[in-house]
Structure formats: structure tokens, C-alpha cells
């Protein structure tokens, strides 16, 4: 039983419209706001990427200046990581986790709301650096010292970038903490830990990593800001620079997995629903997620092999161990597909594309987990290819798998399947055209973060192919926006459960009402309670026919 609007009793009526959406403590509204704002930042980061690709599509181009190029790649990386992929993963968790665990609300709705606004204002502070006289942040998304110290990068733009990161990451951490608390305290009766859906587990390990590692980046950025403005010397000299890198990558590697796990969960849910089968090897999957996340917090210095400031053997060991839990997940996908009644929906196809393309990122990761091989590839386009295969070809495809899977739940309308499949084809072509040649360029020695390069044989052609690929990706994103617009304008009603979903979010209406579940929940005896109901109904039907 609840008293809705309790804090506003005798005070004022709940605000409607834009103001109501902005101050709502409903987890669905906050998740939606966070997702939509992240999407806007994604489009902004995408435009920056197009400028970057235009500049290096040919040797010695002069579309933007050298400094503008530095600002573009810094702000592109920062926007995508701090303001899109990570917060979008948290947005999915905020929206879906309470629904999947049968909770009527998120724990700490006010705290989550404050976290969202701190993140958003942090993002705007970061982007406000474009307005500074001396230009935006321009030291890369990791802002290594001593380059980012005030004597080498003076000006307000870099200061605003640093403060923006502090705010955005603080907001993200606050929101993640409320998701941890929700999973711990708000599960419905019967929703034991090993009955939580696959997506909720991926969200749980992600938010655990956020709480354990993101505060370290906040501390590093505060110290960097003090170095820049208050004359302190935390990151001076070789030791100081290595300390900064240690602090940064203690955040910087876990965040890669925060940007991966929830999308893995989304792809897994989409595949299981389209295969009409439970997720194969559930307990092994849960164990592998815990191991995966713990290991991913123990590999940070593999980004520092060439600095001379890390013990490479230790980090090569833990980095290579990551293969084991990753293998378990691929095994689970295959196990889920085998014997399933597969329907080739867009969400499922995006999920499969996620696993296939992430495989390329993962295999190239084995290469650079080895210090010996990494020495020749460090700071080359091989690295750019690797992390774009994990974060774009991986996470973004998982994100779209989630969008096509849960859009009907969030809006009550179906997305158009044909347009979705067209988007998939276009994006697969564009993604591989853009990022695969980077491996070749990296092997040939083309270094990253250069606005112009010599007319080395083949480099101009490969870069041109990459730039055309980037344009094709943009067309793919445009197709999605058109699809969303058409689907919301000419609505095809989705109903509560258009996919024969397995988890509790499909028990309630689409979109779910305030407090989520007006009807009593079904018995929860496994991680797929709705699948249980269907199987029981089929069993009863069989018995009836037999008798």
C-alpha cells in the first residue's frame, strides 16, 4: 500500500509537463531523461567524429586547425565516454532494474534525481569549454599529466573540462549507488539473488564497479584541478605522471566494462526472448560476471606497459585471465541459440551483431594484453580500432538490441522491424568499414591523435574508406531516428508483452504506470517467471488433451 504524492500533500499538486518530468523521482522518468540526454550527447559526439574523419580522410588536409583537431578528439572521446555510453548503461539500469526485480520504485528516488542533474550539469560544463577563448579541453579524454598541467595547457577551457568530468562522474556514481541499494533492498518476495534476470546481474556488477572505481577518478581530477589552479604539485615529474595514470586507469579500465556489461545483458535478454528459450548456463553466467568484473578492476596498468612505471607481468597475467569469463559468455549465447525457436527480430540480430563484432575487439584485446606485442602497437591506430570494436561495434550494437527489445515497453509502441533491419545492415557495413582498416594502419605504424600524416602508400586510401564508413554509420543512426519518429507518430500498440518476454517488466502495462505493478506479481521461482507461467500453462494444456 502506498501514499502517492505524500511529500506534496497539503503543499501543491504535482507539476505536469516539462517541469514535472524534470523534478520527477519516478525511476522510469529519471532513466528516460538520462537516456534521452545521453542520446543528445551521442549525436554531438558523432558530429565531432565526422569532423575528425573529414580532417584525416586524406593526408595533409586543412579542414580544421591542429588545435581544433586536438579539441575535437578530446571532446569526442570525453562526450562519448563520460556523457553517453556510461550514463546510457546506467539509464538502462535505472529504468529496468526495479521493473525486473519486482520493485515499485528505486531506492532513494531523490538521490537518483539529484545524481541525474549533477551529471547533466557536469556534461554541460564540459561542453561549455567550447566557448572558452583558449578552446575546449584538448589533452585527450584521459588528460595525462604533465600535458594537462597549467603550464602546458593553460586556460579556462581545460579547467572547465576538468570540472565537468568531476561533476559528471560524481552524478554517475550517485545514480549507480542507488541501483546497488535497490537491488539489495527492494527485490520482490521470491526474487532471490539467483532468480534475478540476466540484465539485472549485468547491471549489478556494473554499478559495483562504478562505486568501487569512479571515486578514484573524482579524486584524481580534484588533484589535477588543484595542480592547475592552486599551485600544488601532486603530479609533477615521472613519479607524479605515473601516479596520475595509475589513478586514471583504475577508473579507466573498469569503465570500459561498465560500458559493456549492461549492453551484454540487453543483448542476452533480446536473444533469449527471440529464441523463446531460457538463458543457457545461468549460474555459470552469474559466476563469470562476478569474476569478469573483479578481474576488470585488476588490469588497469595494461594501458601503461610502455611507461616503464608498471609491473607488466602482473597486469598481463590478469588481463589474459579475462578470456575465461568472456569465453563463458560466448558459450552461453551459443547454448541459448541451439535448440531455440528462433525468430529473427531486429533486437536479436543486433544482439548477435554485438557478440560477433565484440569478438573482433576481444581478439585484438588478447594481442595488446601481451606487453611484447603491445609495445609495437601502443598509441597507434591499432588501439583505436580495438577499443572502437569493443565500445562502438560492441556496446552500441548491444544498446540498439536493448532499444529494439524494450522500446515497446517504454513507449507502448512498436518500432518498425524493416527499418530496424535496414539500420542494422547499414551500421554493420559502416562500422566495419570505419574500424577494421585501423588495425592495418596501426600495424603499419600510423599513430593516433595526429591531424595530418605523410603520404605513406595506402594510408590515404584506408583513411578515406574509414571516413566513408563513418558517414555510413551516421546514416544508420539517422535511420534509427526516423524509425523512432515514425513509430511514435503512427503508433502500433505494443501491449504488455509483445515478445513473450521472460522477466517481470513484461508483466505490467506498456508503458508501466507509476509504482510499476498494479496487479499482484506472479510467483517467482526462477529468473524467468513469465516463462515459468507459460510452461505451466502448456503443461496443463497437454494434460487436458491427454485426459
What is the distance between the alpha carbons of residues 266 and 418, in angstroms, rounded to a whole number? 21
Is residue 117 a contact residue for another protein (CB under 8 A)? yes
Name the residue nearer to another protein (CB basis): 460 or 529.
529
Closest distance to another protein from the beta carbon of 99 (Å)? 16
Q: Give the x-and-dash track for 167-196 against another protein (CB under 8 A).
A: x--xx--------x--xxx-xxxxxxx---
Site for another protein in 31-50 (CB under 8 A): none
Site for another protein in 299-328 (CB under 8 A): 301, 310-311, 313-314, 318
Is residue 241 a contact residue for another protein (CB under 8 A)? no
Q: Give the x-and-dash track for 50-89 against another protein (CB under 8 A).
A: ----------------------------------------
Options 293, 423, 431, 451; binder of another protein; rule CB under 8 A: 293
Q: Which residues lie closer than 8 Å to 475 by C-beta, 6 or more apart?
A: 426, 430
Is residue 160 a contact residue for another protein (CB under 8 A)? yes
Q: Which residues lie closer than 8 Å to 263 by C-beta, 6 or more apart?
A: 89, 354, 394, 395, 396, 397, 398, 399, 401, 402
Is residue 290 a contact residue for another protein (CB under 8 A)? yes
Three-class SS of residue 65?
Answer: coil
**In this structure, what are the phi and psi dihedrals at residue 493, rounded to the nearest 5 degrees?**
-60, 140
Q: Are 99 and 512 in contact (CB under 8 A)?
A: yes
The window from 295-303, 349-357, 368-376, 415-423 that contacts another protein (CB under 8 A) reads 295-303
Name the residue nearer to another protein (CB basis): 201 or 436.
201
Site for another protein in 248-277 (CB under 8 A): 250
**Cell numbers 528516488: residue:** 109
Alpha helices in 230-275 (DSSP H): 237-258, 261-274
What is the distance between the alpha carbons of residues 192 and 62, in angstroms, rounded to a whole number? 60
Site for another protein in 2-21 (CB under 8 A): 2-11, 14-15, 20
Site for another protein in 219-238 (CB under 8 A): 225, 229
Is residue 104 a contact residue for another protein (CB under 8 A)? yes
Closest distance to another protein from the beta carbon of 40 (Å)? 18
What is the distance between the alpha carbons of residues 370 and 113, in angstroms, rounded to a whole number? 43
The window from 39-47, 119-127, 338-346, 527-535 that contacts another protein (CB under 8 A) reads 119-127
Is residue 297 a contact residue for another protein (CB under 8 A)? yes
Is residue 298 a contact residue for another protein (CB under 8 A)? yes
Is residue 110 a contact residue for another protein (CB under 8 A)? yes
Site for another protein in 451-510 (CB under 8 A): none
In DSSP notation, 352-383 reads HHHHHHHHHHHHHHHHHHSHHHHHHHTTBHHH
Q: Count interface residues toward another protein (CB under 8 A).
A: 82
Closest distance to another protein from the beta carbon of 216 (Å)? 6
Instruction: Tell me the angle at which helices 323-337 and 282-296 cross, rounded to the nearest 10 degrees.
Output: 150
Three-class SS of residue 10?
Answer: coil
Longest dimension (CA), the chain: 86
Classify residue 61 as left (phi > 0), alpha (psi -120 to 50) or beta. beta
Q: What angle do CA 238, 257, 95 make, to 5 degrees?
A: 130
Options 113, 255, 322, 494; binder of another protein; rule CB under 8 A: 113
Closest distance to another protein from the beta carbon of 264 (Å)? 17
Options 26, 71, 127, 332; binder of another protein; rule CB under 8 A: 26
Amino acid at each position: 500500500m502506498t501514499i502517492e504524492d505524500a511529500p506534496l500533500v497539503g503543499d501543491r499538486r504535482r507539476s505536469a509537463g516539462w517541469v514535472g518530468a524534470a523534478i520527477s523521482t519516478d525511476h522510469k522518468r529519471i532513466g528516460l531523461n538520462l537516456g534521452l540526454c545521453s542520446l543528445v550527447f551521442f549525436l554531438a559526439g558523432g558530429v565531432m567524429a565526422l569532423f575528425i574523419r573529414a580532417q584525416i580522410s586524406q593526408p595533409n588536409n586543412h579542414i580544421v586547425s591542429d588545435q581544433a583537431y586536438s579539441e575535437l578528439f578530446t571532446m569526442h572521446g570525453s562526450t562519448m565516454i563520460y556523457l553517453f555510453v556510461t550514463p546510457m548503461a546506467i539509464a538502462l539500469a535505472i529504468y529496468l532494474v526495479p521493473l525486473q526485480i519486482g520493485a515499485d520504485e528505486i531506492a532513494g528516488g531523490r538521490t537518483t534525481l539529484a545524481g541525474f542533474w549533477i551529471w547533466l550539469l557536469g556534461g554541460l560544463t564540459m561542453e561549455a569549454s567550447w566557448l572558452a577563448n583558449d578552446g575546449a579541453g584538448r589533452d585527450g579524454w584521459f588528460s595525462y599529466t604533465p600535458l594537462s598541467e597549467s603550464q602546458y595547457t593553460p586556460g579556462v577551457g581545460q579547467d572547465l573540462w576538468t570540472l565537468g568530468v568531476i561533476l559528471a562522474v560524481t552524478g554517475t556514481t550517485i545514480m549507480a549507488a542507488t541501483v546497488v541499494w535497490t537491488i539489495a533492498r527492494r527485490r520482490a518476495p521470491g526474487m532471490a539473488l539467483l532468480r534475478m534476470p540476466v540484465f539485472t546481474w549485468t547491471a549489478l556488477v556494473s554499478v559495483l564497479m562504478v562505486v568501487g572505481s569512479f571515486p578514484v577518478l573524482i579524486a584524481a581530477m580534484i588533484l589535477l584541478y588543484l595542480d592547475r589552479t592552486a599551485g600544488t604539485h601532486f603530479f609533477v615529474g615521472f613519479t607524479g605522471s605515473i601516479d596520475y595514470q595509475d589513478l586514471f586507469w583504475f577508473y579507466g579500465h573498469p569503465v570500459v566494462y561498465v560500458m559493456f556489461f549492461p549492453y551484454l545483458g540487453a543483448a542476452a535478454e533480446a536473444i533469449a526472448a527471440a529464441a523463446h528459450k531460457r538463458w543457457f548456463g545461468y549460474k555459470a553466467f552469474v559466476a563469470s560476471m562476478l569474476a569478469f568484473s573483479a578481474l576488470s578492476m585488476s588490469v588497469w596498468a595494461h594501458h601503461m606497459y610502455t611507461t616503464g612505471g608498471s609491473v607488466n607481468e602482473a597486469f598481463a597475467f590478469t588481463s589474459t585471465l579475462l578470456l575465461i569469463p568472456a569465453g563463458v559468455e560466448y558459450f552461453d549465447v551459443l547454448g541459448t541459440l541451439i535448440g531455440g525457436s528462433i525468430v529473427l527480430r531486429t533486437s536479436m540480430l543486433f544482439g548477435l551483431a554485438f557478440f560477433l563484432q565484440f569478438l573482433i575487439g576481444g581478439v585484438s584485446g588478447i594481442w595488446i594484453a601481451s606487453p611484447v606485442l603491445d609495445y609495437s602497437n601502443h598509441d597507434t591506430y591499432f588501439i583505436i580500432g580495438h577499443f572502437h570494436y569493443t565500445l562502438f561495434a560492441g556496446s552500441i550494437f548491444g544498446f540498439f538490441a536493448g532499444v529494439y527489445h524494450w522500446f515497446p515497453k517504454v513507449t507502448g509502441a512498436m518500432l518498425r522491424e524493416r527499418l530496424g533491419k535496414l539500420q542494422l545492415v547499414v551500421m554493420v557495413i559502416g562500422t566495419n568499414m570505419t574500424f577494421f582498416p585501423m588495425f592495418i594502419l596501426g600495424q603499419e605504424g600510423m599513430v593516433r591523435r595526429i591531424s595530418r600524416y605523410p603520404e605513406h602508400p595506402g594510408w590515404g586510401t584506408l583513411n578515406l574508406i574509414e571516413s566513408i564508413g563513418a558517414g555510413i554509420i551516421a546514416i544508420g543512426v539517422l535511420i534509427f531516428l526516423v524509425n523512432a519518429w515514425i513509430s511514435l507518430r503512427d503508433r502500433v500498440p505494443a501491449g504488455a508483452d509483445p515478445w513473450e518476454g521472460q522477466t517481470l517488466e513484461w508483466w505490467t502495462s506498456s508503458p508501466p504506470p507509476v509504482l510499476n505493478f498494479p496487479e499482484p506479481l506472479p510467483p517467482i521461482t526462477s529468473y524467468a517467471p513469465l516463462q515459468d507461467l507459460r510452461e505451466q500453462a502448456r503443461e496443463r494444456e497437454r494434460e487436458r488433451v491427454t485426459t
